[in-house]
Structure 1
Amino acid sequence: MITLEFARMMARYNHWQNRSLVAAADGLSDAARWQDRGAFFGSIAETLNHVLWDDRIWLARLRGDREIEAQINARHPYTDAPHDWPQFIAERAALDEDILSFTDALTQTDLERAVSWRRGDDEVETNLGFNLAHMFNHQTHHRGQIHAMLTAAGATPEPTDLQMLLLLDTV
């Protein structure tokens, strides 16, 4: 379904975009980050925390680590999320490095490997490549929401165009 090159490029894109959004959000007050802006998850901070939580659970699923998946699922993605901004920044940066390392270590055979996970009472099985594409798509969807909220709050995140990634030497 996807190639190793695509997976690695999207991991780099994820890393770059998260750094951009966090840097833009860093210029806001804590109250402004948590202000309800009418988005699906309410605030910039809540949406950032949702993406952090979801990336963690998908990485655990992709690794086949049911114990970590259960631990993440047991935590509420918002009330148990980091409310301390420096803690969030550190956790996001570490997870992005983990995603980069994970994709760098993948083989084509890994992309075709079956991945099982639970959705409520249902056991779902798809291949790793499909789930990795979903994770990257989900990140992009919510980062678009965050970008819009940041812009409305007067912050200036970097462009989101994937083509810009090709021009950057910093990722």
Structure 2
Amino acid sequence: MIDRAYCRTMSRYNAWQNRLLWEVLEPMDGDALRRDAGLPQGSVLTTLTHLLWLDQMWLSRLFRVKAPHSDFERAAAETPSPATWWAARFRADGALRMWADTLSSVDLTGDIAFYSLSSESDVIVPRATCVMHMFNQQTDQRARVRQVLSQSGQTLPPTALFLMPRD
């Protein structure tokens, strides 16, 4: 279904897109990024922090790194500004790339068991499905943020996977 090459490509794409997004966010007013933008998590910053938290949660399940606080509000308090979000995002993207670069074929097979906070239940699902979900979730959340930024007049960089620079 998926392989190491897919994970490496998608982890690189994720890091690239987050860096390009940061280039748009960095000069913006922090208060504007914290203002409710009608997104499911409210503001642009809260939505991006939520995505960071989700990535950290998936990394803890897939790569056995330390999990973030299970309480999102408590975890979000660790990234109160765009700059602190970016520092944490940069570290998470590095961990995600390290995970993808060190994968073996067997790491994408079998099931994974964990407690799902969203369904409030224990789940057992194929590991490959979780990986695909993680990457799809990243793209979906960034697309929502990009829509808000575009509507506020920001010029946004390309998202086409085939435009991603090669390493």
| Fold conserved between structures, TM > 0.5 | yes
> Which residue in 1 is equivalent to 2:32?
32
What displacement does 1:84 show?
Answer: 2.5
Q: TM-score, normalised by structure 1?
A: 0.87
User: Match of 2:52?
Assistant: 52
Q: Which runs of 4+ in 1 moved over 6 A?
A: none
Identical aligned residues as a percent: 29
Please identify, of 128-137 and 96-105, the stretch whose mean Cα deviation from structure 2 is larger: 128-137
Task: Answer yes or no: is the 8 Å Cα contact 2:114–2:123 preserved in 1.
Answer: yes
Cα deviations across residues 89-129 of structure 1 (Å, max 9, x unaligned)? 11111110110000010011100043111125522112322
Q: Aligned letter for 1:18?
A: N
Read off the aligned partner of 1:93 and give its amino acid letter. F
Equivalent position of 2:144 in the other structure? 145
**Consecutive unaligned residues in structure 1, runs of 5 or more:** none
**CA displacement at 1:63 relative to structure 2:** 2.6
User: TM-score w.r.t. structure 2 length?
Assistant: 0.89
Contact 1:49 1:82 in 2 (8 A): yes
Instruction: Identify the residue that residue 95 of structure 2 maps to in structure 1.
Output: 98
Partner of 2:135: 136
Larger RCO: Structure 1 or Structure 2 (Cα < 8 Å, ≥ 6 residues apart)?
1
What's the counterpart of residue 3 of structure 2?
3
1: CA distance, partners of 2:76 / 2:91 = 21
Distance (whole Å) between structure 1 residues aligned to residue 76 and residue 25 of structure 2? 20
Distance in 2, Cα, partners of 1:77 & 1:141? 24
CA offset at residue 78 of structure 1? 6.5
Mapped partners of 2:40, 2:74: distance in 1: 14
- 2:115 & 2:43 partners in 1: Cα distance? 28
Which amino acid letter does the alignment assign opposite residue 108 of structure 1? S
Please list every run of 5 or more consecutive structure 2 residues that lacks an aligned counterpart in the other structure.
Answer: none
**Aligned residues between the structures:** 165
Q: Check the 8 A contact 1:49/1:81 in 2, yes or no.
A: no
- 3-state SS of 2:36 partner: coil
TM-superposed CA distance for 1:153, in Å, is: 2.1
> Greater share of helix residues, 1 or 2?
1
| Deviation readout 1:23-49 (Å, 9 max, x if unpaired) | 101121011111211121121101110
1:52 is matched by which residue type in structure 2?
L
Structure 2 contact 46–76 (Cα < 8 Å) conserved: no
User: How far apart in 2 are the matches of 1:149 and 1:142?
Assistant: 11
Work out which of the residue numbers 109, 113, 118 in structure 2 matches 1:116.
113
CA separation in 1, counterparts of 2:57 and 2:26?
25
Alpha-carbon distance between aligned partners in 1 of 2:17 and 2:155, rounded to the nearest angstrom: 12
* 2:16 match: 16
SS in 1 for 2:77: coil
